[in-house]
Amino acid sequence: MSEELFTNEEKNKLPTHVGIIMDGNGRWARSRKRPRLFGHRNGVENVRSVVNAAREIGVPYITLYAFSAENQNRPEGEKSGLMKLLEEFLTRELQAMLRDGIRLRTIGNLDGLPPFAKHIVEDTVDKTKGNRDWNLTLALNYGSRQEVLKAVHSFTQQAEKSDHIPEWSEFAQHLQTKDLPDPDLIIRTSGEFRLSNFLLLQAAYAEIFVSPLHWPDFDRPAFIDALRNYISRERRFGQTSEQILTLQTN
């Protein structure tokens, strides 16, 4: 499938890890005069399309911002509906994950989820932990600031008392994403230009792509467009274009 979409040179420039802030389910539903949960259900259905596209194209890591710590402030009915949709999704997709070699991970505080949702998440993580081909991470009850505070506490508990300032790689081992590469690309749907407490440290050098489409409309072609946009960019990591050209030619 990827051979039809990208040249060999383009495939070498594809991101390894894409994080997606799935925004706009409620607005999508409202524009159709339907309840917010209708939008969330269609958003969940769209997850399969984008994850499958990433797998077929050759993007090995996808992280989806599914439920933020701040989402706990939403009405109880909406939160309950979201957790039931999560349960339905994981129950339905487990066999496909096992068949396709997709490993599920999570970041966030699962203790903040209802027991039934926490159970299905932990069960799916356990059953897919042996998979090695593709990696799907769900950010659930997640907030980057909260993650960093816990990481600082963990690091200071283990660090020897000294004036040593740790390297980023040392500190990163205390983040929940320690087993994941930093994201190369962050996609946000629904036209909003903010990170909303998502992977703030990990995305320090990520490219950001904002789509005007609400998440339920962000389909496979839209995902491919985001990847093409990413490929077209020059990633300098603080260097000049001339320095990068010199490194590439040596």
- What pLDDT shows up at residue 2? 42
Residue 210, beta-bridge partner list: 188
Q: Which of 23, 46, 109, 135 is catalytic?
A: 23
Least confident of 46-55, 111-120, 139-148, 237-246: 237-246
Taking the model in full, what pTM does it have?
0.91
Q: State the pairing for strand pair 185-188/134-142.
A: unpaired
Q: Which of 46, 71, 109, 141 is catalytic?
A: 71
Give the pLDDT band of residue 3 (cuts 50, 70, 90).
Answer: very low
Is a pLDDT exceeding 60 seen at residue 208?
yes
- What pLDDT shows up at residue 156? 86
71 is catalytic: yes
Is a pLDDT exceeding 60 seen at residue 244?
no
Give the pLDDT band of residue 235 (cuts 50, 70, 90).
Answer: confident
Least confident of 1-5, 89-93, 101-105, 136-140: 1-5
184 is catalytic: no
Q: Give the model confidence (pLDDT) of 70-103 as tens digits.
A: 999 999 999 999 999 999 999 999 999 999 999 9
Kindly state which CATH superfamily the domain 2-249 is placed in.
Decaprenyl diphosphate synthase-like (3.40.1180.10)
Give the pLDDT band of residue 231 (cuts 50, 70, 90).
Answer: very high
- What pLDDT shows up at residue 249? 56
Q: State the pairing for strand pair 185-188/207-210.
A: parallel
Least confident of 5-9, 10-14, 161-165: 161-165
Rounded to an integer, what distance in angstroms lies between the CA atom of residue 209 and that of residue 149? 27
Give the dihedral of Cα atoms 109, 110, 115, 121; nearest 10 deg.
170
Contact yes or no for 184/16 (Cβ under 8 A): yes
Rounded to an integer, what distance in angstroms lies between the CA atom of residue 63 and that of residue 184? 11
Q: What is the mean pLDDT of residues 2-14?
A: 83
Rounded to an integer, what distance in angstroms lies between the CA atom of residue 193 and that of residue 195? 7
Residue 61, beta-bridge partner list: 17, 135
Query: What string of DSSP letters covers the chain?
Result: -HHHH--HHHHTTS-SEEEEE---HHHHHHHTT--HHHHHHHHHHHHHHHHHHHHHHT--EEEEEEEEGGGGGS-HHHHHHHHHHHHHHHHHHHHHHHHHTEEEEEES-GGGS-HHHHHHHHHHHHHHTT--SEEEEEEEEE-HHHHHHHHHHHHHHHS-SSSPPPPHHHHHTTSTTTTSPPPSEEEE-TT----TTSSTTTTTT-EEEE-SS-GGG--HHHHHHHHHHHHTSPP-TT--HHHHHHHHH-
- Per-domain residue ranges of the chain: 2-249
Q: Give the model confidence (pLDDT) of 17-74 as tens digits.
A: 999 999 999 999 999 999 999 999 999 999 999 999 999 999 999 999 999 999 999 9
- What pLDDT shows up at residue 207? 98
Pull the structure tokens for residue 45: 């259905």
- Higher pLDDT: 238 or 14? It is 14
Q: Give the model confidence (pLDDT) of 147-198 as tens digits.
A: 999 999 998 887 666 667 788 999 999 999 999 999 999 999 999 999 999 9
